[in-house]
A and B are shown apart, each in its own frame.
Chain A
Amino acid sequence: MTAVHISIRRHRLGLLLFTTVFALLMALSIATPGRTFAAEAVPTCNPTATNGCVNGILQDADKKPIANVTLKLSGKEEATATTDAEGKWAFSVTADGEYTVTMDESVAKEHGLKAATATVEIEKNSFDKARQVVRFDKPVAASANGSGKSGSGSTASGAQSGSSASSDTAQTANGSSATANIGKRIWQQLFSGVIFGLMLGLMSVGMNLVYGTTGLSSFSHGEQVTLGGLMAYVGTQVLHWPLIPAAVFAVAIGALTGWIQNELVWAPLRRKRVGTMQQMIVTIGLSMALQYLFQFFFGGDIKGITKSIPASFTIGPVTTDAPTLISAAIAIIVIVGVTLFLYRTRLGRATRAVSDNAALASASGINVEQVVRIVWILSCGMAALSGVLLGVYLNGISWNTGATLLLLMFAAVTLGGLGTANGALVGSLIIGIVADMSSLVIPNDMRYASALAILIIVLLIRPQGLFGKQQRVG
């Protein structure tokens, strides 16, 4: 009796607290145990701290929406939903785990769908797994046996289709199917690691250029990435532009913010000879302010840049889709371009000279401020581009996407060697590959920890990084 009384009071006090101080912090965390909500069908689903999303757009083979189809969700939680006029459907779920979405076999046949069931894995706190888009245009690996999709039958075939259904929603093949053979998984993880590493490379090369020329490790670089993704979202979804102009718009805005913040904040601080540590704390403040401005304007959910789900195909042992490959190609082209710029042009040489020794560069007639300005513009533009690519690759971007990647950027930059542009790229690739490959051995939600562990080990063994010059640090 008393126990019940206490727990109720505790709950009430907790609620009071919730509304006063820490609503946000609490909201970021998970519902307390004991509060369980079942899955439910909703018109549109936005992943939050307490719920994940299983959703999709049901289209026939000609990409026409199919309305009024009943879809059944099974797995950790159960519910049914009906597709609306645009073929859209969504489930909001509360438990992490595998979910299977099933429709009537006859409906699937009638519309030329290759499968009537698909399985996805939901993980509320992973920004790429909180929402899973389900598709039915891929054949179920081990054949859909029987039409009665109930009980164990559905879970069996669900597990089979798991690997194919979830692998096309970027880098989510991780650990979803125990049955897939290990060799294929290694290749798939390696592939997604390389893609992720390339995008990380775009971010960290820019970050490292800023560090090289000004000595500032910018904590707000993650927000520049988010900005790029969100601006692309504004372009495609709010202004209804095609993807490419929207991406150009995003990069332009990103570059513009780089220029503006250099003029307004960093150049005056440098003139006042404010120390780099002090500037670093300013970037922390900027990062907080920007991050929550994004949340203020765009809300806490994931914003999809493109609505359509690309068709996936298989190359060798790897399943992928066209946007992923195009994103990777763009990333490679830009990185190669920046490298050429640094090594083949006068301005690039000047940049490297400033990186080496700003005072000496200045003495030999290089306009250091001009170089730093260009570096800021370049770096923020690249961050914005990587945000766009990441948003396309991960099927969406949210207000804190960049912030979650910030530490990986730091890890990549430190691994490659602070201030060395090419080092950052190699560092990023290693970090990307390790982060994705490590999920083969350690739990998936710990994979970023492995990347950060690399950072610490590198500092222990080789503090100047892989490509840094041997020098006394500290």
Chain B
Amino acid sequence: MDFLTIISNTLGELIAPTTAAYVLAAIGLNIHFGMTGLMNMGQAGFMLLGAYGFAITQSMGANLFASVCAAVALAVIYALLLGIPTLKLGPDYLAMVTLAAAEIIRIIGRSTAMTKITGGSAGISPQDFTTQFEGTSPLPNGSTTFLLWTYNNNIANSWWLRLVAWVLVAIAALLCWRWFHSPWGRVLKGIREDENAIRSLGKNVTTYKMQALILGGIFGAFGGIIFVLPRSVQPDSLGRAVTFYTWTILLLGGAATIFGPILGSCLLWVLLTFVKEIMRGAIPDTLISSNQVEALGWVIVGVALMCLVIFRPQGLLGDRKELAFNA
């Protein structure tokens, strides 16, 4: 077992684009759940729509800005479609509808009937949609080593992507911080704590919830774009499991906090990769195969999620008094 490889692989997760993508998705979910108390069980749907919106318009030759706009527009429309029927209903309903809708998007996206647009289950391969993004990079060609990590500057899983991803995360965190402390954010928190109280103050609760759903969804869409840039757009890689990961990240870091999603995502991926790498190295392949190590990783996440909710629902950074599950 090569210890240095394990360390560098593990710490590589700290700055990986995927980690940043999950941070963005979790920030979106934080606006839904942490701020407003909406049980969105379909954040992966927002991500997948964002990814499709971006990749499909890119492959059709639109410019970068237009593609991002398309992704955002899709997320907004999707949020409206989901929100109009369900926001007036109880939290169970929103949870089920978002879950089902995310699944519908995935099923339609991977359907053979949609192969011309979405590439079916094989998805959209990176050369069709990443060239423009890579072209905008100001970095020179070649690869750079920084501390432990060596990545290509511009191509695929690159430094440029990392830079963009984490700058986006910083912007998102900053915006969240502004929003959380604005009057608007206080209304959202009020809705989370007691909807009827806010209603009695003459606020239109459904409108506020809708705004939160849309904003969180937009962050989800950005997360989706970052998620697919180092790989291809494959509907099955943005399934229900991604939503559940995002929930674990949010609850690990602490809902209703600014740095919760960031801490949660970094911690989850670093720990998970570390545990898996150690298992791969320490346990002989004959005893536990590589696939089984993957499965064990998921089991750990599942158990972690259960334990978190039962024993420390406020997560690492959260305030227990503030976080009330909207039952």
Contacts and interface: CB of A to CB of B under 8 A. Distances in A.
A125 to B, nearest CB: 6
B6 to A, nearest CB: 11
Contacts of A286: 302, 306
Interface in A281-337: 281-282, 284-293, 295-296, 299-300
- Counting chain A CB atoms within 10 Å of each CB, which of B39, B112, B273 scores highest? B112
B137 interface: no
Interface residues of A, number: 73
B97 A443 contact: no
Contacts of A463: 89, 93
Contacts of A299: 291
A124 B110 CA distance: 12
Interface stretch (A68-76, A160-168, A243-251, A445-453): A445-453
Contact of B236 (A28, A287, A288, A291): A28
B111 A443 contact: yes
A145 B68 CA distance: 58
Interface stretch (A8-16, A84-92, A252-260, A420-428): A8-16
Given A13-B157, A278-B327, A25 B122 contact: no
A265 B302 CA distance: 14
Nearest to B277: A20
Interface stretch (A130-138, A362-370, A407-415): A407-415
Contact of A291 (B103, B234, B298, B303): B298
Interface string B214-258: 000000000000000011101111011100100110010000000
Contacts of A17: 157, 230-231
B113 A13 contact: no
Given A9-B155, A288-B244, A455-B97, A22 B90 contact: no
Contacts of A23: 290, 294
A360 interface: no
A217 B301 CA distance: 21
Interface stretch (A52-60, A226-234, A269-277): A269-277
A434 interface: no
A410 B96 contact: yes
B302 A445 contact: no
B309 interface: yes
Contacts of B326: 275, 277
Nearest to B306: A285
B92 A418 contact: yes
B302 A288 contact: yes
Nearest to A34: B125
B122 A32 contact: yes
B303 A292 contact: no
Nearest to A280: B95
Contacts of A278: 309, 313, 325, 327
B96 A217 contact: yes
B127 A10 contact: yes
A460 B305 CA distance: 32
- Counting chain B CB atoms within 10 Å of each CB, which of A9, A13, A265, A285 scores highest? A285
Could you tell me the dominant secondary structure of chain B's interface residues? helix
Contact of B231 (A26, A403, A442): A26
Nearest to A24: B294
Given A9-B156, A22-B231, A446-B111, A217 B92 contact: yes
Contacts of A14: 156, 231
Nearest to B206: A474
B85 A22 contact: no
B127 A7 contact: yes
Contacts of A280: 39, 92, 95
A296 B295 contact: yes
Contacts of B108: 446, 449
Nearest to A294: B295
B292 A125 contact: no
B103 A452 contact: yes
B43 interface: no
A448 B90 CA distance: 25
A407 B91 contact: no
Interface string B180-211: 00000000000000000000000000000000
A300 B310 contact: no
A31 B299 CA distance: 25
A96 interface: yes
B126 to A, nearest CB: 6
A25 B272 CA distance: 14
A473 B93 contact: yes
B86 interface: yes
A177 to B, nearest CB: 17
Contacts of A296: 292, 295-296, 299
A217 B95 contact: yes
B18 interface: yes
Contact of B309 (A285, A414, A456): A285
Contacts of B122: 29-33
B29 to A, nearest CB: 12
Given A21-B13, A32-B125, A292-B296, A445 B107 contact: yes
B302 A290 contact: yes
B299 A288 contact: yes
A277 B93 contact: no
Contacts of A291: 298, 302
Nearest to B238: A25
B170 interface: no
Interface string B71-90: 00000000000000110111
A459 B309 contact: no
B152 interface: yes
A182 interface: no
A276 to B, nearest CB: 5
B57 interface: no
Contacts of B324: 275
Interface string B288-320: 001110111111011111111110010000000
Given A24-B294, A30-B236, A291-B298, A443 B113 contact: yes
7 contacts: A21-B13, A22-B18, A24-B297, A29-B237, A33-B119, A410-B96, A459-B97
The 5 A-B pairs with the shortest beta carbon distances in the complex, nearest first, are A275-B327, A289-B302, A288-B302, A285-B305, A285-B306
Interface of A: 6-7, 9-10, 13-14, 16-17, 20-34, 49, 96, 124-125, 217, 265, 269, 274-278, 280-282, 284-293, 295-296, 299-300, 403, 407, 410-411, 414, 418, 442-443, 445-446, 448-449, 452-453, 455-456, 459-460, 463, 473-474
Given A411-B100, A449-B104, 8 more contacts: A21-B273, A125-B236, A285-B301, A299-B291, A410-B99, A414-B96, A446-B113, A459-B86
